[in-house]
Amino acid sequence: MADPNVEQAPLVQLGREWLDERRRARRWSIFFKLVTLLFLMPVFILLWGAISAKERVCLDKCTALVEVRGELEAGGRASADHVISGLQAA
């Protein structure tokens, strides 16, 4: 009868080689995913900055601070006509 270790040796060697190959493939897969992530992150950050910069531009609806000095009276410096014209100029 033949020795069982001699018959199993090629199968064991084949199994080990298959496991080694799977391990290498998994490591390379992780490496390429990390490299892709490192290249894409700056692109996403730049795009996000460009999009958020566009949102900060005030075209038609803005908030302004108008300083009113003096009493609110019809003919004075702080009259409604002066305040409205100042708001429209802003």
46's CB contacts (< 8 A; 6+ apart) are none
What is the structure's pLDDT at 36? 97
More confident residue, 4 or 46: 46
Question: CA 86 to CA 60: how far, in whole Å?
Answer: 16
Q: Concatenate the DSSP letters of all residues of the chain into one string.
A: ---HHHHHHHHHHHHHHHHHHHHHHHHHHHHHHHHHHHHHHHHHHHHHHHHHHHHH--SS---------S---SSSTT-HHHHHHHHHH-
Summarised one tens digit per residue, pLDDT across range 46-90 is 888 877 766 555 666 677 677 777 777 777 777 777 777 777 776
Q: What is the largest CA-CA distance in the chain?
A: 121
Mean per-residue pLDDT over the chain, rounded: 82
Answer whether residue 1 shows pLDDT above 60: no
More confident residue, 89 or 33: 33
